[in-house]
Amino acid sequence: MATAALLACDWGTTNLRAWTLDAAGGVVAEREFPFGVSRLGPGEAAVRFAQDVRPRLGAERLPAILCGMVGSNLGWTPAPYADCPVNLSDLASHLVQPPGAADVRIIPGVRTRGFNGQGDVMRGEETQAFGWLAAQPERAQGRHLICHPGTHTKWMVVEDGRLTSFVTAMTGELFAVLGTHSVLRSDVPPDDLAAFDLGVAAAGDGGGLAARLFTTRARMVGQGALPESTSSYLSGLLIGADVAATPGLLGMGEFDTLSLLGDAHLCGLYDRALKARGQSAEIFDGEAAAVAGLFALYQMGQRT
């Protein structure tokens, strides 16, 4: 069995995913913990890391690198944002050491002026994007569009190995809020692909979303659609609007291919919506990209 040489963590809002990695970046062991930063009190992150995370993975003496919301003002210690455009070396030069933890480094988030000058930010997705780049050196050439679907979906443009711009779409959060706290609420999980496809078609070019959203209710109460299809239709409408309109905010209204990076099921839904619009996509595992990015940034940080 390989010997663990590094503890790598993606510490988000709701949970923490941790891996021990060998000297080549291969996974030795992995664990998931239910205490994201939103569930911790002031100063609790350092305690949890030392008393729960390290012992569970037998990583008490290993150097550690962390990404995600752990570097926000809700987390362990603030890791100030790096500005776009940014490459792997830039991020590595901004790693932050938490107070009293000499062998721990936290990866900063990234910020940009945004498509309308009002700004945009990310924490964690940049690590996956650079992990995706690190997996195949040829990806460091040319211009690529990456989509990371989720609560706050990130659309990222990578050019010659640099993250040059991105935009956040609150697609997943809108689905959760509307499906729970509005007239579009439903207790039935979204598993009706036919209704999903109808929602994608109803999204059109993504414009007038507030008006299009009400069709989720109107089709049920006025057209006799089955109530249990509501959440699937809503999911399709929101994802359909996202894939139709958001790339254009980055000047990427037309693209040859898109890399979908993240959860397989959610990426599959985005792929389905893209195919309905005649667009192609490739799906990549988000967890593997996170591990590769954490390892690459640790290695680069050792050299800077």
Would you kindly state where each structural domain of the chain is located, as residue ranges? Answer: 6-138+289-303, 169-285
Confidence of residue 68 (pLDDT cuts 50, 70, 90): very high
pLDDT score, position 252: 87
Write down the CATH number for the domain with range 169-285: 3.30.420.310
**pTM (predicted TM-score):** 0.95
Give the pLDDT confidence of 214-224 residue by residue, as tens digits: 999 999 999 99
- Same fold across 6-138+289-303 and 169-285: yes
CATH topology of domain 6-138+289-303: Nucleotidyltransferase; domain 5 (3.30.420)
Give the pLDDT confidence of 150-166 residue by residue, as tens digits: 999 999 999 999 999 99
State mean pLDDT over 90-95. Answer: 96
The side-by-side arrangement of strands in the sheet containing 143-148 is: 162-169, 153-159, 143-148, 258-262, 281-285
